Amino acid sequence: MLKSVILVDDERSIREAVQQWLSLSGFEVQLFSRAEDCLAQLPANFAGVVLSDVRMPGMGGLELLARLQQQDVDLPVILLTGHGDVPMAVEAMREGAYDFLEKPFSPEALLNSLRRALEKRRLVLENRALHEQADHRSKLQASLLGISPGLQTLRRQVLELAALPVNVLIRGETGSGKELVARCLHEFGPRARKPFVALNCGAIPEQLFEAELFGHESGAFTGAQGKRIGKLEFAHGGTVFLDEIESMPLAQQVKLLRVLQEQKLERLGSNQSISVDLRIVAATKPDLLDEARAGRFREDLAYRLNVAELRLPPLRERREDIPMLYAHFAQAAAEKLGRSLPPLSGPRLSQLLSHDWPGNVRELANVAERQVLGLGEPEPAGTAPGQSLAAQQEAFEAQCLRAALTRHKGDIKAVLEELQLPRRTFNEKLQRHGLSREMFLG
């Protein structure tokens, strides 16, 4: 059960007595003599109750109540009143106060009121968390498209890891969506309001690497005019995505390791340490421990980066996702280019399903855009063994459902009329193919 209480009272004797009572009952108590200080330091989604005197110098308890309700209308506030303030406190309860206690009050009365308020707060926060999780799942499903078991597992892992303060290593082939997954880890976690900084380690010349990561002071090297904030410092409080981390020069690996260990960095040409709060999401194609054994990567840094690992399945391992992804990319291309959406024929779908997709999702997006432009595609090379007839029929059925839902922007009645399906059959097919009306609302 929640046990956090904030007490705001300008009388020191009251603060000390209440703190002693509550501490003996196992509560965590934070004391303030001024309402202004309470407002300034109150954490978001405070998991507890606020006790406040009504009459105080400066901001009084009623104004504090109004200000707290602006921040969180469900935060329980219990008012402490003198005898003459009771009518005022009753009116305050109509305005949203949880309860009031008339001074002098007994420890038992205070504890009873607090326990009821804390139970209410627990239920509110649990309900919020459930709504937030459902919202995140819906948004993540729209970001990481796919119905394959591999994608469903990936989405679950991303949601779990997004909330945890750990570095993550993403393993995946070129074009498999590593940066998209890194952005999801950032956007669905507590750092979402802070910067997301992406850096491709394989695209930075070695001589510029240190300045790019750590920044520099004026005159630190030839051509260093003025102070420059590096990527790591700029991302303070947020997430740094280091793609192709295996390409990072060994000299910079040592400095990055030090930043991760000490949470501090120094700009080039400076001896001043700067504190940074970072989450590192790194991406690689090869196994970093194999790279370490070959002497191309520091083993200690590999372990620092790989606190948790996500593996992105290549497109050839999740062929059931191809129709959905193709429809998404084609629709986006048609809207961007002002073109009509071309129909996807059975032979064309079969061709898409059997292709090996060495460029993964990025290659599929290119194919979809070319199709919208009317450029077509040559017969793909390097195809994998074809899918069974049943698998191709399932994929084609899913494509037909997606296309109809897209055309009618999620209008179920219109889709049922077009496809001539009974509602129950339609719902069963939606569930089987991992589709929902909300994914297509215009």
DSSP 204-271: S-HHHHHHHHHEE-TTSSTT--S-EE-HHHHTTTSEEEEETGGGS-HHHHHHHHHHHHHSEE--BT--
Q: Domain boundaries in the chain? A: 4-127, 144-313, 316-440
| Per-residue model confidence (pLDDT) at position 379 | 45
Select the more confidently predicted residue: 398 or 365.
365
> Of 74, 197, 85, 184, nearest to 136 (Cα)?
184
- Mean pLDDT (the chain) is 87
Domain 4-127 and domain 144-313 have a common topology:
yes
| Per-residue model confidence (pLDDT) at position 160 | 93
Band the pLDDT of 366: cuts 50, 70, 90: very high
| Per-residue model confidence (pLDDT) at position 378 | 46
Asked which of 109-113, 271-275, 429-433 is least confident by mean pLDDT, the reply is: 429-433
pTM for this entry: 0.65
Between the alpha carbon of residue 120 and those of residues 98, 99, 108, 157, 166, the distances in Å are 10, 12, 19, 31, 32
Query: Looking at the predicted structure, is the pLDDT value of residue 376 above 70?
Result: no
Class of domain 4-127: alpha beta
| Per-residue model confidence (pLDDT) at position 221 | 66
Mean pLDDT of 180-193: 94
Look up residue 134 and give its amino acid: A
For 131-172, write each residue's pLDDT tens digit.
Answer: 777 777 778 888 899 888 899 999 999 999 999 999 999 999
For 190-245, write each residue's pLDDT tens digit.
Answer: 999 999 999 999 888 888 888 889 888 876 666 666 678 889 999 999 999 999 99
Select the more confidently predicted residue: 337 or 84.
337
DSSP line for 148-205:
SHHHHHHHHHHHHHHTS---EEEE--TTS-HHHHHHHHHHTSTTTTS-EEEEEGGGS-
| Per-residue model confidence (pLDDT) at position 134 | 73
Mean pLDDT of 124-130: 85
Between the alpha carbon of residue 59 and those of residues 42, 51, 75, 332, 392, the distances in Å are 15, 14, 18, 54, 69
For 406-427, write each residue's pLDDT tens digit.
Answer: 778 888 888 898 888 888 888 8
For 8-43, write each residue's pLDDT tens digit.
Answer: 999 999 999 999 999 998 999 999 999 999 999 998
Look up residue 251 and give its amino acid: A
Query: Looking at the predicted structure, is the pLDDT value of residue 435 above 80?
Result: no
Band the pLDDT of 52: cuts 50, 70, 90: very high
Mean pLDDT of 301-310: 94
CATH code reported for the domain at 316-440: 1.10.8.60
CATH code reported for the domain at 144-313: 3.40.50.300
Contact 20, 67 (CB under 8 A): no
